[in-house]
Structure 1
Amino acid sequence: MRLFSLDEKSVNVYSKKYARKSPIQAIAKTAYKDYFYNIPQKIIVTNNLEIPTTFYETEFFDKVVEQEYSKLLGKLTAVEIENEKITKPEPLTIDEKQLFAALIAIQYLRLPTVIDEYWETYEKTGSASLDIIKSFMVNQHPDKKEFIDSVKLELDKDYKPVEHSNLYTDEKLIANLQDLILDKIWIFMSPKITFTLQTIQ
C-alpha cells in the first residue's frame, strides 16, 4: 500500500461499518489481523508436524508471495510515460505477467471473506451429507430413529485456518484464477503513474 500513499507511511481509509472516510491511518495497521493465518498448536501436535504456528505467515507469505509481489510492483512503478506511451522500462515480460496474475489470485484467496464463505459452504455441505446418511439409517433402523435424529454435526473452528491454507496453496485453483486474470486488460493507477497492459495472446 506504500505505492498508494503520498508519504509511504499512511493512507486514507474508508469505514464500511460507518460508511464514511476515516482519518489517515498507518499502513502497518491497515487490512491487518493478528494471528489470522496461524495453525493452532493442537493441530501441529496431533499431526506431528515440525513447523511453527506462523508457518504460512512467515514461510509462505513473507518469504515467497510478498517478496515476489514486491519485486513486480517495484518494476511497475519504475515505468516512465511520455506522450501517453510507455518509454522505459518494459512494464512486465510475459512470464512476469503470468507470475503477477498468480500472485493476485493468491492475494484474493487469502481474504477473510473468502474463507468465511468457504467455511459456511463447508458447514452446509457437511450438514446436508449428514442428513442424507441419517435418512438412510432411519430407513434401515426405524427403531433407532430418536437416537439417529439426535446426531449433530459439529465442526472444530480451529481447523478453519487449515482449510483456508488449502485454498491459497491450491495450484489448480490458482491456475484457474490466473487464466481469468490474464484474459483481462490491466490498468494500473497510483498517485504517481497510470498505464494499461493489454491481454497476453
Structure 2
Amino acid sequence: MKKVLILGASGSIATLVEENLIEDSQVQMTLLVRHPERLTAAIRNDSRVTVVVADVIKDTATLTQAMRGQDLVYANLYGANLKQQGQAVVQAMQAAKVNRLIWISANGIYGEVPGKYGKWNQQMLGSTLDAYAAGAKVVESSSLAYTIIRPAWFSDKETINYELTQKGQTFKGTEVSRKSVAAYIGTLILDDSQAIKQSIGISEPHTEGAKPSFY
C-alpha cells in the first residue's frame, strides 16, 4: 500500500489526481485541507481516504502528525506566502522523516519563458510569480527528494497531451490541460523514483504563441 499525503487537496488539479488515484486499490490518501466541504463526496467518503482539517502554516503540529508514516507528500499550495508554506512543509517532512515531495509551482519562476508570452505571463501573474519562485527556492534548497512541476496556463480540455522541459531549458507552449498535469503527477506518485531533484516544465505541444488560446 502506498501512502500519499496531499496538501491543498481541494484544488482543481489535486481533485483530478485524487479521482485518478482512487481507482488504484494500492493507494491510501490523506487529504489536508482548510475547507473539507470542497472535497467531492466520493473522495471524502472512501474507506482509503483520511481527511485532516488544518492550515499548513498555523497548524504545524497537525501537519507533522499527518506526515508520519507517509511515503510521499504532494503539495498543491498557492498564495502570497508560498515561501512560508514551503518552509513549514520542509520542516514538517524532516521532522516526520518523509523524504519524497512533489511541489506544484508555475511557469516563469526562473525567467525561462521567452518572447511575448514570457512578458504576458509575467504581467498576468505579477507578484504571484514571485511567491511561486520563493516557494520553489525553499524546496530546492532543502535536502528532500523533490520534484517541482511548472505548468503552463490551465485549460479545460479533456485530452491528455503534454511535453516536458527541464530547468535550464526554454519553456515550451502557453497552455496545458488540467487533466494532463494531473496525469503526470499521477505517474510520479505511482513511480516516485522519477525526476528526483528536478524542476519540470509541462505544457501542451504546439501551443506556442503570445498567450494561451483562451485569452
TM over 0.5, shorter chain:
no
Q: TM-score, normalised by structure 1?
A: 0.23
- Higher normalized strand content (fraction of residues): 2
- Higher normalized helix content (fraction of residues): 1
> Greater Rg, structure 1 or structure 2?
1
